A and B are shown apart, each in its own frame.
Chain A
Amino acid sequence: MKEIEKARRRQREKLHNESQRLFDRVAQSSSDELLFKFAFNLDCENRDTVGAVGVTRDMLFVATEGEKNGDATSVTAHRIADYTEFKARVNIGTVSLEGERDGEWIEFCRTDMTLSPYVTDAARCLSALLEYDGEGTPDIVYEPDRRICPICHTPYDKGVTVCHNCTKPASNFKRLMAIVKKDIPLIIVAFSMFFVLSLIKIANPALQKVLVDGYLMPSEYVGAQEDIFKGIITVVILLALLQLVYRVIEVIRSNILVLVSTRLVKKLRTLLFDKIQLLSISAVSRRTSGELINRMIRDTMHISEFFSGYVPQLIENTLIILFVGVAMFLYNWRLALLVLIPAPIIMMITRRVWRFTHRLYHRQWMMEADSNTILHDVFQGIRVVKVFGMEEEEIKKYDKAIKKVAEVSEKNEITWAKIIPYMTYIIGIGNYIVMAFVGTRIIGGEMTVGDLTMFTAFTGQIYYAFDWLSRLPRRLQMTSTAVSHIFDIVDEEVDVKDSEDAIEDFEIDGNVEFSNVSFGYEEAEDVLRRISFSVKKGEMIGIVGRSGVGKSTLINLIMRLYEVREGSIKIDGVDIKNISQHCLRSQIGVVLQETFLFSGTVLDNIAYADQNASREDIIRAARLAGAHKFIMKLPDGYHTYVGDRGYTLSGGERQRIAIARAILRNPKILILDEATSALDTETEQIIQNSIAALVKDRTTFAIAHRLSTLRNATKLIVLDKGKIAEFGTHEELMRKNGIYASLVLAQRTMSTIAKKS
């Protein structure tokens, strides 16, 4: 471990040292102050190299090593104003910085992904410099480091601000303790019980010795038969009583621990769930729902098991080693030493073995998970499997997967079966030492048979404890991983955040203004570029454009599901960043492109928009959405169960429920993303008319591929290649004879053909 860590550091330092000289050269070449600089590590043919880039207000310097080592360094200077565009091109495994000059592109530098944030951020800053008009100091912030751990220099996971490499398990456990703080008195009670339990455990062998030496095989005369008989009974009763006390305490202790650990699980789950609800969509969708569920369920279980199962054993075994060790030393220190000397070696051996077997089983576990994925896929997509007649293939695929699992698990079991007997043997080795040592002394009369039983029992106990402890590090690691999985999310910075002085009670009127909005899901690639338009209250805006052009993205920005990268969106003159998210969204009604119904009744699903809506309002909303009629045909009316396992609704029916949901909200801004795409034109028209009556004073954004859907739109936005290609009324755009007009024509031709046939 240490070695690799060192190698990694060496790798970094090498680049740093070598680039340092180049930075000096860059600094010499320019009279101006450098705004930012970074090192790169590949040449344009992807060969290892070292280079440095420095940027001033109007120049870009690229310094590279000469051809051979020791040769002169060369610095090329580029005037930023000569270029029309800068771009970071993300390739597979590399990123390059390119600039366009007189219609021709040139590549300035190239690096592998390790240094990619430096390049992508540089491209962003250079583009900003291009727009800088020379007045004052340019307003650029070069901070690629914000996504890189300052300690180990590896990039964080997207959106996370804690480093996996650098979080210490100790700090994780400390935080866990902080969570169970309230239960600490209980934990202390449990802890004191451990004391008693361990004491009883060592009292057992001692009593057995009394039994053997005092009564069963006394070395001298101890009394009459009757007395011996009485003595034996007393000791046995004592043993039985101790055992009873032991069990009772054990039960109480377990109860306490179970209580504490279930409370811990509950707290962790609430913590996680609350946080996940707070996180932005981009943060949540970065992880699969399976992963999130795993973290909620499996990782928290893991931690709870650790607390209720491992921590007590840890304490118990530590105490036993302590007590038994002391007892043995007090009784016969030479024997104690003899027994304990091989312990560390044995611990090392067992630890290795456990590590090895753990990996075997981990692999098996991963393979099982794989085969489960196949199951999951097949059951989810059972319709697709059936209609394509792929049952046989799926069976084969699954067979293959479980065969692999079977092979691996068989191999593991065999390995296991081979290892276990030897392990037991090794753990039992101490007994032979005791036997030899005590046995020879029994003959000599220095020790007794009772000593033998007692020491054998002690050795068993202490070796068992050592064996257990040798397994602990592995378990500790697993738990620590689970804990960091959880804190990972808990610590994640909420990227769409309400500012401190966010307006809580902003009443939306309905004027929306985009100015110079740019946004992209990925760092390097923008989906929307410099979008500007304004919409007045009560207008209906139709958004059209090719699939994937960014229509849904645009409305996501209005709802502030994502933060714009540049520019601003204002509602009634107020930047939406300054309105609390809850306040903003509570006044927007939306029908998303993917209609989602929760499992629950139709009523639940519509009322989701407004928990306090009256039943009558719900019926009105459903009627407006054209949903009432079909809902009444369902067996239980509004109480029909829909969603995951419920009544299967058609695509259009689902859409209408979603529309009812949006209408019920009585929103100031209504957003319809392909809200009626699954409906026939006639039904669509009916719903549209009722919506039109409803939305009179509201601003509506409607996305549709079927242009007739947008016939009521007051203005249309045509998106193309991330920009607004056309903006205006239907008539204006038709006169313009551009993209929109050709779309309309194409769809008209379609419908005339349809009518003719």
Chain B
Amino acid sequence: MERKVFDGVGDIKFLTPENCIFTKNENGFIKASVDGAEPIRVYLYRVFPHDMTDKYISVTDSDKTELGMIRDIAEFGEDIARVINDDLNRRYFIPKILAITALEEKFGNSYWNIKTDIGERTITVRDTFKSIIRIGEDRAIVSDEDGNRYEIVSLEALDRKSYRRIELFL
């Protein structure tokens, strides 16, 4: 149930298939034509990157002025949705950790061997406790010292050994 707090003020400009056309140009960038204007290159940002990856997408121009917001990517139909998702996936690169095969700690830093959905990696995590951010009870994001991020989609679902390796840092 939607609560009517604002009653017309502070309205969000929502982009819908009716008022906005998304296309992908030959260089692989996404362009949008809003309210019939010339198509321009747009930049997509997740408003709630942690828990709504395909809803509430802010669309801005190169000056970061927001042109509008997508409420739900699915509204645009399968083909356009794919274009939008492709672009988001290029912007948000967060490999998922499938298993942790080794973890050693030294001087507050830790060294991990991990299996991710894009292959095996060896990462160094500085200040381990602070670098693992819990999202809700079950998810976690790990930032390594270079600034890469890795996601643990479900701590529950990790195999026992992997879980035991990071348990003490949670």
Stretch at the interface among B4-12, B15-23, B67-75, B108-116: B108-116
Whether a CB of chain B sits under 8 angstroms from the CB of A680 is no
Q: Name the CB-closest residue of B to A155.
A: B146
Within 8 A of A (CB), among B32-61: 41, 49
Instruction: Type the 1/0 row for B83-113, where 1 means its CB is closer than 8 Å to any CB of A.
Output: 0001001111111000000101111110111
Which residues of A sit under 8 angstroms from B102, Cβ to Cβ? 3-4
Which residues of A sit under 8 angstroms from B109, Cβ to Cβ? 164-165
Whether a CB of chain B sits under 8 angstroms from the CB of A143 is no
Chain B positions within 8 Å of A, measured between CB atoms, are 25, 27-29, 41, 49, 63, 86, 89-95, 102, 104-109, 111-113, 118-119, 121-122, 124, 126, 129, 144-149, 168-169
Q: Name the CB-closest residue of A to B111.
A: A4
CA–CA, A104 and B146, complex, Å = 31
Contact B146 A4 (CB under 8 A): no
Assess A47 versus B148: contact at CB under 8 Å? Given A164-B126, A362-B168: no
Whether a CB of chain B sits under 8 angstroms from the CB of A114 is yes
Contact A484 B107 (CB under 8 A): yes
Contact A105 B111 (CB under 8 A): no
Closest CB-CB distance, A352 to chain B, in whole Å?
14
Within 8 A of B (CB), among A114-151: 114, 116
Instruction: Type the 1/0 row for A31-62, where 1 means its CB is closer than 8 Å to any CB of B.
Output: 00000000000101111100000000000000
Since A113-B146, A154-B146 are in contact, a sample of 11 more A-B pairs with Cβ atoms closer than 8 Å, ordered by chain A residue number, is A4-B102, A44-B90, A91-B90, A91-B92, A93-B92, A93-B149, A105-B27, A107-B28, A116-B147, A164-B109, A363-B168
CA–CA, A238 and B59, complex, Å = 89
Q: Name the CB-closest residue of B to A101.
A: B27
Interface size on A, residues (CB 8 A): 39
Q: Name the CB-closest residue of A to B90.
A: A46
Q: Name the CB-closest residue of B to A96.
A: B90
Assess A45 versus B90: contact at CB under 8 Å? Given A114-B148, A165-B124, A366-B129: yes
Stretch at the interface among A5-13, A179-187, A381-389, A607-615: A5-13
Closest CB-CB distance, B145 to chain A, in whole Å?
6
Which residues of B sit under 8 angstroms from A44, Cβ to Cβ? 28, 90
CA–CA, A477 and B25, complex, Å = 55
Which residues of B sit under 8 angstroms from A7, Cβ to Cβ? 113, 122
Whether a CB of chain B sits under 8 angstroms from the CB of A480 is yes
Within 8 A of B (CB), among A400-449: none
Closest 5 CB pairs of A and B: A93-B93, A113-B147, A4-B111, A7-B122, A114-B146
Contact of B106 among A1, A45, A116 (CB under 8 A): A1
Contact B149 A4 (CB under 8 A): no
Q: Name the CB-closest residue of A to B110.
A: A4
CA–CA, A91 and B88, complex, Å = 10
CA–CA, A104 and B89, complex, Å = 21
CA–CA, A113 and B28, complex, Å = 21
Closest CB-CB distance, B42 to chain A, in whole Å?
11
Q: Name the CB-closest residue of A to B64.
A: A721
Whether a CB of chain B sits under 8 angstroms from the CB of A360 is yes
Which residues of B sit under 8 angstroms from A484, Cβ to Cβ? 107
Whether a CB of chain B sits under 8 angstroms from the CB of A240 is no
Contact B169 A363 (CB under 8 A): yes
Whether a CB of chain B sits under 8 angstroms from the CB of A106 is yes
Q: Name the CB-closest residue of B to A47.
A: B118
Closest CB-CB distance, A211 to chain B, in whole Å?
50
Residue with the greatest number of chain B CB neighbours at <10 A, chosen from A8, A45, A107, A112: A112
